[in-house]
């Protein structure tokens, strides 16, 4: 999710994974959230749990119809973005995804070492 007044740093995407969209221009120019209220994607201070869950679900519905949801999610995971709903994931959900990626990477490294030693 982009705040309308904030510049965005481009996510580091390996060249092999760049799509035609990436080469044509910045992904965030096509983000649906650019037309929505930023408050939907970021929590106000002291937001009650029920209100937060409702707001996050509404933000995720916006993300679900966004043509650049995957690019947005990867940006938020690569940066990493500590707040808000990005690419259909909350900050807590992104932490889970990052933890899984780290475990998967560690397992692959162990498997590679075992194969090389064996």
| Known binding positions for [4Fe-4S] cluster | 33, 63, 66, 72
Length of the chain: 118
Q: How far apart are CA 12 and CA 101, in angstroms?
A: 17
Known binding-site residue numbers: 33, 63, 66, 72
Q: How far apart are CA 72 and CA 54, in angstroms?
A: 21
Alpha helices in the chain (DSSP H): 20-24, 49-64, 69-78, 91-117
Q: How far apart are CA 68 and CA 16, in angstroms?
A: 18
């Amino acid at each position: 999710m982009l705040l309308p007044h904030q510049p965005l740093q481009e996510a580091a995407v390996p060249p092999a994974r760049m799509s035609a969209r990436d080469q044509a221009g910045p992904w965030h120019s096509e983000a649906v959230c650019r037309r929505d209220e930023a408050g939907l994607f970021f929590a106000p201070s002291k937001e009650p749990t029920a209100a937060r869950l409702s707001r996050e679900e509404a933000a995720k519905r916006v993300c679900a119809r966004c043509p650049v949801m995957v690019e947005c999610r990867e940006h938020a995971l690569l940066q990493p973005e500590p707040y808000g709903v990005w690419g259909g994931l909350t900050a807590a959900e992104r932490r889970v995804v990052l933890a899984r990626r780290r475990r998967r990477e560690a397992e692959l490294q162990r498997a590679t070492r075992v194969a090389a030693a064996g």
